[in-house]
Amino acid sequence: MRLYRRPLAAVLGGLVLALTATGSALAVGGTFAWTGPQGKTYSIQNPPDNKCFDMAQEARGARNATKKTLVVYTQKRCKGTATRLAAGKSAPSGARFASVIFNPR
């Protein structure tokens, strides 16, 4: 269990730093949520625009409660099969993804 929490903390810590550095003017606004290991739900508030984030652990069932479009990818570094989720939309609960970009250009 410890192995899963540390990578997640690193990803979320990086998101917090990115949000702090970019300011709210460049944030998407809203919440992005997903299901991780053992069915636990994770989420982030106001993710930054146009920045690709790799998931540090299993991620599935992306839910876009932000105000803008996002894209989840089957591979890290925003590569592989892309699934575009409009604001307020969700991917199927079993749909796995490895990276995400918010409000892509």
Q: What is the CATH number of the domain that holds 7?
A: 2.60.20.10
For 23-37, the pLDDT digits (tens) are 444 677 899 999 999
For residue 6, give both structure tokens: 């540390």
Expressed as residue numbers, the domain containing 41 is 2-102
3-state DSSP: the chain helix, strand, coil percent, rounded to 5? 25, 40, 35
CA–CA gap between residue 19 and residue 42 (Å, rounded)? 17
For 59-89, the pLDDT digits (tens) are 999 999 999 999 999 999 999 999 999 999 9
- The answer to whether residues 86 and 64 touch, using CB atoms and an 8 Å cutoff, is yes
Domain tally, the chain: 1
